[in-house]
C-alpha cells in the first residue's frame, strides 16, 4: 500500500500497541523522520477487531499523515520568532486542519481501494493484523 501512496523509497514500519500514543481513543499514530524517510506507524490493538474497510481507512489515514505532516515541520521554522501564545495558536490550528484534511482524504482513498481488488502480493501479515503493503 505504501507504494500506492508514493512512499516507495520510504521505510514504513508498522507496530500494534494496546494504547496508541497515550490516547485510548486513537486507532493510529504516525511518527516521521523526514531526513531519513522513515515512518513508524502504530496501530491500536482495538483496530484489529474492526471491519476490513475501517482498517484500510486508518492505515490510509496514517500514510497520508506522512505527506501532510511535513507542513508542520516546515512551519515550525517559521513560528520560531513568534510569541509562545502565537506559536501555540498557529500550531493548534495547523494540527486541526491537517487532521481534518487527512481524515477526509483517508475515507476517499479507502473507498477507492474498496472498488478495486487488491492483488495478493499487496497483502502482508504483521502480528495479528493484515496490512496492505
Closer by beta carbon to Zn ion, 52 or else 99: 99
Q: Are strands 11-17 and 38-44 parallel, antiparallel or unpaired?
A: parallel
Candidates 117, 109, 104, 96; CA nearest to 60 is 109
- The least CB distance from residue 114 to Zn ion, in Å, is 20
Residues 6+ apart with CB under 8 A from 87: 79, 80
Taking the least distance from each CB to Zn ion, the nearer of 42 and 85 is 42
Tell me the per-residue interface mask from 74 to 103 with Zn ion, x by CB under 5 A, - otherwise: -------------------------x----
Q: How far is the CB of 102 from Zn ion (least distance, A)?
A: 5
**Chain residues 98-117 in contact with Zn ion, contact rule CB under 5 A:** 99
| CA–CA separation, 98 and 104 (whole Å) | 10
Rounded Cα–Cα distance for residues 132 and 119 (Å):
9
Q: Is the Cβ of residue 99 or residue 127 nearer to Zn ion in the bound state?
A: 99
Q: Tell me the site size for Zn ion, rule CB under 5 A.
A: 1
**Minimum separation from the CB atom of position 83 to Zn ion (A):** 27
Cα–Cα distance for residue pair 13/4, rounded to 1 Å: 16
Q: Binding residues for Zn ion, per CB under 5 A?
A: 99
Amino acid at each position: 500500500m505504501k507504494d500506492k501512496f508514493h512512499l516507495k523509497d520510504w521505510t514504513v514500519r508498522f507496530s500494534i500497541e494496546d494504547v496508541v500514543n497515550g490516547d485510548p481513543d486513537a486507532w493510529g499514530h504516525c511518527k516521521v523522520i523526514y531526513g531519513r524517510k522513515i515512518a513508524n506507524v502504530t496501530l491500536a490493538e482495538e483496530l484489529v477487531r474492526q471491519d476490513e474497510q475501517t482498517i484500510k481507512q486508518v492505515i490510509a489515514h496514517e500514510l497520508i499523515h506522512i505527506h501532510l505532516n511535513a507542513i508542520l515541520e516546515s512551519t515550525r521554522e517559521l513560528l520560531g520568532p513568534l510569541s509562545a501564545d502565537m506559536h501555540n495558536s498557529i500550531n493548534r490550528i495547523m494540527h486541526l486542519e491537517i487532521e481534518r484534511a487527512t481524515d477526509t482524504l483517508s475515507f476517499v482513498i479507502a473507498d477507492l481501494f474498496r472498488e478495486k481488488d487488491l492483488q495478493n502480493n499487496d497483502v502482508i501479515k504483521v502480528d495479528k493484523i493484515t496490512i496492505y503493503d
